[in-house]
Structure 1
Amino acid sequence: MKPEYLIEQQNEINAHHIYRKIAGRIKDAHNKDILLKISKDELNHYHRLKAQTQRELKPNWLLINFYAVISFFLGFTFSVKLMEKAEDAQQAKYQELYDDDPLLKAIIEDEERHEKTLIDMLDEERLNYVGSIVLGLNDALVELTGALAGYTFAFQNAKIIALTGLITGISASFSMAASEFLSTRQEGESEHALKSAIYTGIAYVFTVILLITPYLLIGNPYISLATMLVVAVLIIFGFNYYISVAKDLPFKRRFFEMAGISLTVSLISFLIGVVVKVVFGFEL
């Protein structure tokens, strides 16, 4: 019995339960139907392999629940595509063995042709507003990292920096949400304008809270600044990884571009803070 049969058989039964579990909590009939179809395909593949191995394999419930939790917090599209990427990586490891085996090759080709077509048909609301989320996230990162860097040298008081950053950030989030609402309406998409504004505003506020948190928890403003920049890079990394998986977009270029802009603006703003303090002799 070929060991790769058991590996692929285990993948298929796990995937069957993952798709079915995720589908169980989705209300939208279109998405639910697609996931259940894929789940059925995975079960058929499992039985084809079982006929060869003559082994009944138990699902890996730890892995299944892991993807179910990811689906709950980050959306079913991200969870499904992350699982597919993990399967692709494992199949690539045994590619030569799979190519030489008609059964495994047929199963993999079936998945690539049918299941991935179905996955591309998934329609998740939050992904339809990625542009609005990017707008809120990117503006908050660029503007607030810069502002906090400037405030850090100008004020040199972590609590005041945090308070000023919070006021600046919350005000800017309302302004940005309003601008997105008006912009979307001007483009003739009035039915999406309010949701676009909400997604933009939430992304902005969420980013603001994460960026000012180091100043609230750490007394030294310069350590807070360094920590805030690390948090900013982690936000950029996490968001771009999420989008690269969920929307099948390139990761590295988008990550370095976004991180480079935010860190450059922070450096410039910090230097402006230095100049303001030296020239005007501002002391707090």
Structure 2
Amino acid sequence: MSYGLDAHTIKSLKKAQKNEITEHYIYLKLSSFKKNRQNSQILQQIAQDELYHHNALKKFTGTDIKPNIFKIYFYTFISVIFGITFGIKLMERGERNSEKLYGELGQKIEEFKKIANEEDRHEKELVGIIEEERLQFVGSMVLGLNDALVELTGTLAGLTFALKNTRLIALSGLITGIAASLSMSASEYLSARTEQDSSRALKSSIYTGVTYIITVVFLVLPYLLFSNYVLSLAVTIIVAIIIILVFNFYISVAKDLSFGQRFFEMAGISLGVAVISFIIGYLVRLFLGVDI
């Protein structure tokens, strides 16, 4: 039965059908990772819905379509590394073309209207059921990341022209960064302790401290890899921008927040402080007559 669909629409439906069967297997895999039984059961139900959508589309395309194995492993890997919430929401972003197609066809064919409604329900259910510890402490991660970026890019920029020695700059940066991370972690614990129980306050401080230290390592690393201090500073700035880019993309997907505004705000603050510190470091060296 043709249902009056043209060749272009059939081609689009085959693509959507492949997505549905692929996501069926992805949801099945992800459901096995959830320790919470209720969440796991809901993910399994969504997996069955995706299989139903595949079979419904099959009536219109008349074709059996195999899943995209690469996508299955890719989104499974992404979910393991960055969290199941991020993995699912990133995958759901790719469904928007299919949802638009279902919505258009739903005006003529009732089957597609039902599929479109279920696809919309999927996202709402997922937002409600997925609870990940790392997302509950996003504020602590932002604090550690932002503070490390602002303080250390500024410190390294200032030290670069004050010392002009990559080993000394790296040593100074590591000592400053590690000391600052411990201080920031302790401050976060004391601050969170007034509003939360000791267990959550401790986790909050750990997320802050660990994020801070990881950021410090990435920012100092160029000074250990290169002997040219100007090149090291340039690479550090690039690394800082990449860290801001990746982190803000993660937050924008996992928490449904604006990417552009947060990225430019954080990048502007970090690079602005770096420029000011760079100038201060140069002036200090000039007026004190330090030559290392």
Output the TM-score relative to the length of structure 2: 0.92
Give the 4+ runs in structure 1 shifted more than 3 A: 89-102
Distance 1:254 1:93, change over 3 A: farther
- Which amino acid in structure 2 is aligned with residue 118 of structure 1? E
In structure 2, the residue matched to 1:38 is 46
Deviation at 1:162?
A: 0.7
Report if the CA contact (8 A) 1:132-1:197 is conserved: yes
* Aligned-partner Cα distance in 2 for 1:44–1:89: 19
Taking only the aligned residue pairs, the percentage that are identical comes to 51
* Aligned-partner Cα distance in 1 for 2:139–2:32: 29
- Which amino acid in structure 2 is aligned with residue 168 of structure 1? T
Please say if 1:69 is aligned against 2:80.
Answer: no
Please say if 1:131 is aligned against 2:164.
Answer: no
Deviation at 1:119?
A: 0.8
Deviation at 1:54?
A: 2.9
Please say if 1:275 is aligned against 2:283.
Answer: yes
In structure 1, the residue matched to 2:122 is 115
Deviation at 1:117?
A: 1.6
Please say if 1:154 is aligned against 2:162.
Answer: yes
Deviation at 1:89?
A: 4.3
* Aligned-partner Cα distance in 2 for 1:280–1:212: 26
1:84-130 deviation digits (Å, cap 9, x = unpaired): 00111454478655655543343122210x21121112111110000
Please say if 1:226 is aligned against 2:234.
Answer: yes
Q: What does 1:79-90 correspond to in 2, within 5 Å?
A: 79-89=87-97
In structure 2, the residue matched to 1:166 is 174
Report if the CA contact (8 A) 2:181-2:213 is conserved: yes
Deviation at 1:267?
A: 0.3
Deviation at 1:29?
A: 2.1
* Aligned-partner Cα distance in 2 for 1:77–1:192: 21
Q: What does 1:90-109 correspond to in 2, within 5 Å?
A: 91-92=99-100, 96=104, 100-109=108-117
Deviation at 1:26?
A: 2.5
Output the TM-score relative to the length of structure 1: 0.95
Q: What does 1:2-81 correspond to in 2, within 5 Å?
A: 2-81=10-89
Aligned residues, how many?
A: 283
Report if the CA contact (8 A) 2:23-2:47 is conserved: yes
In structure 2, the residue matched to 1:200 is 208
Which stretches in structure 1 are left out of the alignment for 5+ residues?
A: none
* Aligned-partner Cα distance in 2 for 1:94–1:224: 52
- Which amino acid in structure 2 is aligned with residue 52 of structure 1? F
- Which amino acid in structure 2 is aligned with residue 115 of structure 1? H
Please say if 1:216 is aligned against 2:221.
Answer: no
* Aligned-partner Cα distance in 2 for 1:14–1:99: 26
Q: Secondary structure at the match of 2:66?
A: coil
Report if the CA contact (8 A) 1:158-1:224 is conserved: yes
In structure 2, the residue matched to 1:242 is 250
* Aligned-partner Cα distance in 2 for 1:241–1:56: 36
Report if the CA contact (8 A) 1:140-1:208 is conserved: yes
Q: Secondary structure at the match of 1:26?
A: coil
Of stretches 207-216 and 46-55 in structure 1, the one that deviates more from structure 2 is 46-55
